[in-house]
Copies of this chain bind each other. A is one copy, B any other.
Amino acid sequence: MARSELKRSGAKAGTHLRKKKILASARKLFWQKGYHSVGMRDLARAYGCQPANLYNYFETKEAILFEMLREEMERIIQSIERFEEEDGDAVEQLRFIIASHVKAILSRPRSGKALFDVALGILSRRNRNVIVSMRDTYERILRKVLRRGQEQKVFLTCDEKLVGVLIASMVTRTKMWFHPQKGATVDELADLIFRFALGAIQADETPHDALWRTKGRMGKGIKPI
């Protein structure tokens, strides 16, 4: 292990890995209990060390929250950023965006804690700006797709800014009430939300009656806190 390359990056590699592990356990706790209900002592216990040691990896508690949110947003954006420029079927792009977002949100242990919203009031101005600008990127892409759909005449003329926030609202809040069940999977949920949104804005009036015959199946997954 006397490789010269390891001298520089070797020590750092270990730290980076440990940082990720701290973030992983912090993420779980923050989503479950909310920022204010989780102390540094909790974070330390979850990771397996003393509170003081966490300060070798993060400057403050807020820094942990920030890094966690940044990673999460990055994941969501990366999966859809190609739609900003890429021309294509807007309907399919909308379907993908919704599905991707729903999956990202529900891939974490349920919260019901509105962590993201609370966080914006906690982060420093600098950090909040970073997160907010990432959220803006997400909404910009969504609006771009909505506008594309209008140009393709597959969506009705609509205020894409408004429709964007409405769709995002439905998706965001899924984590408050949705529990995957037999007959009510995350994929199905995403599909239903997509169809709901599409029904509201689609131009050609294909009856989508059949799409809604899910009574009693999807209902199982709905269990608000």
Interface residues of A (CB under 8 A from B): 33-34, 36-37, 112-114, 117-118, 120-121, 132, 135, 156-163, 165-166, 169-170, 172-174, 176-177, 192-193, 196-197, 199-201, 203, 205, 207-209, 212-219, 222, 224-225
Contact = CB atoms under 8 A, between A and B. Distances in A.
A213 to B, nearest CB: 6
Pick the most buried of A135, A176, A207: most chain B CB atoms within 10 A of its CB: A176
A220 to B, nearest CB: 9
Give the top 6 A-B pairs by smallest Cβ distance, nearest first. A114-B114, A169-B173, A199-B200, A158-B212, A114-B117, A200-B200
Given A135-B224, A173-B172, A199-B200, A162 B192 contact: yes
Stoichiometry, as copies per complex, reads: 2
A225 B112 CA distance: 20
A156 B118 contact: no
A135 to B, nearest CB: 7
A37 B156 contact: no
Contacts of A166: 170, 193, 196
Contacts of A120: 112, 225
A101 to B, nearest CB: 13
9 contacts: A37-B121, A113-B118, A114-B118, A156-B207, A159-B219, A162-B222, A163-B196, A169-B174, A200-B200
B173 A218 contact: no
Contacts of A169: 169-170, 172-174, 176
Contact of A162 (B117, B165, B218): B218
Pick the most buried of A112, A132, A166: most chain B CB atoms within 10 A of its CB: A166
